[in-house]
Amino acid sequence: MILDLERFQAQARPRWRDLESLLAVLENRPDRRLNPAEAEQLQALYAQTAADLNRVTHGALSPELRQYLERLVARSYSELYYAPPMRSEIWQPRRWLRIFTAFPETFRQHARYFLLALLITLLGCTFGGLAVHYDPASVDVLLPADYLRNPGQRVHEEEQGEPKHPRSAQIEAGFSAQLIKHNIQIALLTAALGVTFGIGTAILLFENGLLLGAVAVHYTQQGFGLFMTAWLLPHGVFEIPSILIAGQAGFYLARLLLRRQQDRDVRQSMREWLVLICGLAMMLVWAGLMEAFFSQHHAPVLPYGFKVAVAAGELVLLTIYLLMIGRKATDATGSSTVGSANQ
Amino acid sequence: MTPTSLFPAATAAELTIATPEGVLFRLPLAGPASRLYAMLLDAVIVLGAVNGVGFLVYWIFSKAPGFGFMMITLAEFAIGFAYSALLEGFWNGQTVGKRLFHLRVVDQSGLPLRLEQAWVRNLMRVLDALPFAYLVGGLSVLSSPLMQRFGDRVAGTLVMRQAPLPEPSEEFWMGQKYNSFVDYPAIAIKLRKAATPELASLIQDALRRRNQLAPYARREIHREITAYLQTEISQFPDELVERLSDEQYLINASGILFNRQRHSK
């Protein structure tokens, strides 16, 4: 049976207009909450308009009318089924401060991905270290920058050059910002490469480890082990773990994508991924400040023993933070999720 | 969880959503070109904002340019991500550029996107923007049935087109005063009975698009449909048909098919 389009439109137009004006009101309301009367009216108009859309679709009539009704239905559908976050939920500083406990909790919850990242990096370290140890010529291939290849010259420049060019805090500040930006970009890329099922993440981690192992062995062979430790560790104890956490986030993402069907709460997983990223970004801000303001000062100014001690202190604090903070909270949420699952 | 099931549409340009009430509707998806334009516009806005912040910072830190530089570098970096993430999260899936180009980011289920989805899809830009000019993201869009870049795939979002739609007006030929087919009620009823909805919509389309067709194509199409109706469906008397153009024939037939009350009087 062919629809009498003219009569149909004339009859239905008033309710389409009602729906349109109701939607305009709701969409412009900042919190997008419905009161009961509006909800009832929206539900009724939505049902009628959906029925109208069905009639038009099955009659294969007027594409403009069909598009128009589809738009109306889509808009009402999202108003009816979407629960927007409460404004008060968003602007609570306490909720934002919770990131400081949520980060170590999430880190521990997905510790196995961290261990995987650590394993791959260590593999890279071993490979790089062994290569330089048994074939010193491979340094030219493995280490791209000139200053990494010639430790003697570098150490000399660093130790002697300092009084001639007093580093101003100004230059260091700019340097730290660039370091922070660059490191966060690399870390984000490592985490984002989880979409390659973790392969890209693994390659970046391995390469990072390779470089680290090669530099460590090369400098130690030349007798600059202490210099290197004091030079790299004050920021490295934050920088290296944060890249490992980026690897953790990448592998976690890979698992999410591989098992998306089984995952019931994608939203929660996404939040955890974001918490990891946020946490590692904070770590990299600290690492960047340390690298620019502290690590670059050498022996006469800052004794190597002091620098190594500071690095050790940082490492202990970081370990305590990542392993201990929020333990009780984890147990509490653990039991509460069990409770809600039983309901 | 979300109260919908998804049927990815067969065509590349739209996604069909089935609501729990059993209503189907289509969301038109945005292609890479319009998204690129919107992104370029947003980039200009971000650049402007960063420069504005930069002047302010230089003024505040005029005694310490190094710290000023540090603040600007970090602010630029943060604004680059936060601009899109916060606007999309709080402004119903639209940045300024997306709004001007009539684009909107939505959840795959057709619902508005959530703040965490907005952050995820924007942080993933570090990958999509590689190696330059969003090449990775562009390839991802072209290879995805839902036109998703990697950020969209991870966040479960998609970008839809949302050009403003006017309320459809009545068809111009509906209001015609006199329809000569009404004088032959028996043949007219035969036409109404025999015409399938597909045929009816074909006639409507041919009339609706007549001004978009080249004159030759317009004549040919109208001639073919008229010939088909006249030979296969319902034969109106020759002396009447000879006086009508093919187009007028179709207008009359459409009047018979769609205007019941005027005809049945």
Model pLDDT for residues B141-159, shown as the tens digit of each residue: 888 888 889 999 888 899 9
CB-closest option in A62, A68, A257 to B167: A68
Question: From the candidates A1, A6, A66, A260, which should be mutated to test the interface with B, based on the most B CB atoms within 10 A?
Answer: A6
For B207-221, what is the mean pLDDT? 84
A274 neighbourhood in chain B, CB within 8 Å: 116, 119-120, 123
Q: Is A261 left (phi over 0), alpha (psi -120 to 50) or beta?
A: alpha
CA distance A123 to B166: 63
* Cis check: omega of the bond before A303, within 30 degrees of 0: no
- pLDDT at position B264 is 42
For B122-141, what is the mean pLDDT? 87
pLDDT band for B10, please (50, 70, 90 cuts). very low
- pLDDT at position A263 is 57
Q: How many CB pairs under 8 A join A and B?
A: 159
CB-CB under 8 Å, A273 with B73: no
Contact status, residue B79 vs residue B46, Cβ threshold 8 Å: yes
Token readout for B133 is: 């000019």
- pLDDT at position A17 is 87
Determine the distance in angstroms separating the CA of A219 from the nearest CA of chain B, rounded to an integer. Answer: 31
Q: Quick check: helix, strand or coil at residue B107?
A: strand
Token readout for B106 is: 């939505």
Residue ranges of B 64-83 with Cβ closer than 8 A to chain A: 64-67, 69-74, 77
For B166-190, what is the mean pLDDT? 73
- pLDDT at position A281 is 92
CB-closest option in A6, A27, A195 to B150: A195
- pLDDT at position A343 is 32
- pLDDT at position B121 is 92
Query: Does residue B170 have a pLDDT over 80?
Result: no
Angle between helix B246-258 and B215-228 (nearest 10)? 60
- pLDDT at position A264 is 60
CB-closest option in B69, B127, B204 to A173: B69
Q: Quick check: helix, strand or coil at residue B64?
A: coil
B163: contact with A, CB 8 A cutoff: no
A174 neighbourhood in chain B, CB within 8 Å: 66, 69-70, 73
Token readout for B60 is: 């505040």
Which chain B residue lies closest to A84 (C-alpha atoms)?
A: B114
H runs (alpha helix) in chain A = 5-28, 36-58, 63-81, 87-90, 93-97, 99-109, 111-134, 139-142, 146-149, 151-164, 169-192, 199-221, 225-258, 266-290, 304-324, 327-342
Highest mean pLDDT: which range of A79-88, A218-227, B62-71, B84-93: B84-93
- pLDDT at position B3 is 38
Of A203-212, A302-311, B23-32, B169-178, the poorest mean pLDDT is in B169-178
Q: What ranges do the domains of chain B cover?
A: 5-161, 172-264
Residue ranges of B 207-246 with Cβ closer than 8 A to chain A: none
Strand-pair partners of B112:
B106
CB-CB under 8 Å, B260 with A4: yes
Contact status, residue B92 vs residue B112, Cβ threshold 8 Å: yes
B261 neighbourhood in chain A, CB within 8 Å: 4, 7
CA angle B16, B17, B19 (to 5 degrees): 150
A82 neighbourhood in chain B, CB within 8 Å: 111-112
Question: From the candidates A77, A171, A179, A289, which should be mutated to test the interface with B, based on the most B CB atoms within 10 A?
Answer: A77
CB-CB under 8 Å, B116 with A70: no
Q: What is the pTM of this model?
A: 0.79
CB-CB under 8 Å, A2 with B197: yes
pLDDT tens sequence for chain A (343 residues) = 456 676 777 788 888 888 888 888 887 776 667 788 888 888 899 988 888 888 877 765 667 788 888 888 988 888 888 876 666 666 677 777 888 888 999 999 999 999 999 999 999 999 999 998 888 778 777 777 666 667 777 777 766 655 444 557 777 788 888 888 889 999 999 999 999 999 999 999 999 999 889 888 888 888 887 888 888 888 899 999 999 999 999 999 998 888 766 656 777 888 889 999 999 999 999 998 888 888 877 767 778 888 888 999 999 999 999 988 877 654 544 444 333 333 3
Q: Tell me which residue has tokens 């550029």.
A: B97
CB-CB under 8 Å, B200 with A81: no
Burial of A169 (0-12, 13-18, 19+ CB in 10 A): exposed
- pLDDT at position B22 is 81
Q: Longest C-alpha distance within chain A, in Å?
A: 95
- pLDDT at position B52 is 86
CA distance A66 to A54: 9
- pLDDT at position A90 is 64
B131: contact with A, CB 8 A cutoff: no
B199: contact with A, CB 8 A cutoff: no
CB-CB under 8 Å, A176 with B67: no
B71 neighbourhood in chain A, CB within 8 Å: 177
Q: Tell me which residue has tokens 């700019």.
A: A174
- pLDDT at position B9 is 38
B251: contact with A, CB 8 A cutoff: no
Q: Tell me which residue has tokens 């990958």.
A: B127
CB-closest option in B27, B70, B123 to A177: B70
A9 neighbourhood in chain B, CB within 8 Å: 168, 170
CB-CB under 8 Å, B67 with A170: yes
CB-closest option in A65, A169, A177 to B168: A65
Q: What ranges do the domains of chain A cover?
A: 5-83, 95-326
Determine the distance in angstroms separating the CA of A1 from the nearest CA of chain B, rounded to an integer. Answer: 7
The larger pLDDT score, comparing residue B230 to residue A243, is at: A243
pLDDT band for B169, please (50, 70, 90 cuts). low
Determine the distance in angstroms separating the CA of A131 from the nearest CA of chain B, rounded to an integer. Answer: 30
Chain-centre distance for alpha carbon B66: 49
CB-closest option in B73, B155, B195 to A181: B73
Q: Tell me which residue has tokens 């036109």.
A: B147
Determine the distance in angstroms separating the CA of A18 from the nearest CA of chain B, rounded to an integer. Answer: 13
